[in-house]
Amino acid sequence: EVMQKKFDAEAVDVSWAKKQEEKLINTLANEPDLAGFALRDTQCKSSLCQMSFSFTDMDQANKIAEQVSKSVAVAGKYTSVVASPNKETKLTTLYISSADAETVN
C-alpha cells in the first residue's frame, strides 16, 4: 500500500519511463527462469517502475519476486524490488526502484 501510494504520487518522465519499461520487459523476456510467469502490466514513472504478474499460489508469487530481483540486479541499474502479492486477485505487483533516474540510459 505504501509503495502503491508512492508510485501513484510520482510524476511521469515520459522519455525515461518508456526506455525503462522496454529494458525491464527485454531483461525479463531473456530469463529462462521467468518463462512460465504471466506478466500482466509494466509501468514506469520517473524513478519507480511497477510490474504485475499473475500467480497460482504464494510459492509462485515468491518465486516471481525472487527471479525478478535477481534479473534486475544483474541488469545493474535498479536498487530494490518490493513485492506486494494479492491472494484475492492472484496478482503480485513488484515495485522496482531505479538506482539513479537521472543517469539511467
Tens digit of each residue's pLDDT (9 = 90 or more) over 40-98: 999 999 999 999 999 999 999 999 999 998 888 777 777 889 999 999 999 999 999 98
Tens digit of each residue's pLDDT (9 = 90 or more) over 11-56: 999 999 999 999 898 888 888 888 788 899 999 999 999 999 999 9
**Res. 9: pLDDT tops 90:** yes
Predicted pLDDT of residue 100: 56
Contact between 42 and 7 under an 8 Å Cβ cutoff? The reply is no
Angstrom distance (rounded) from CA 63 to CA 10: 28
In the DSSP assignment, the letter for residue 11 is P
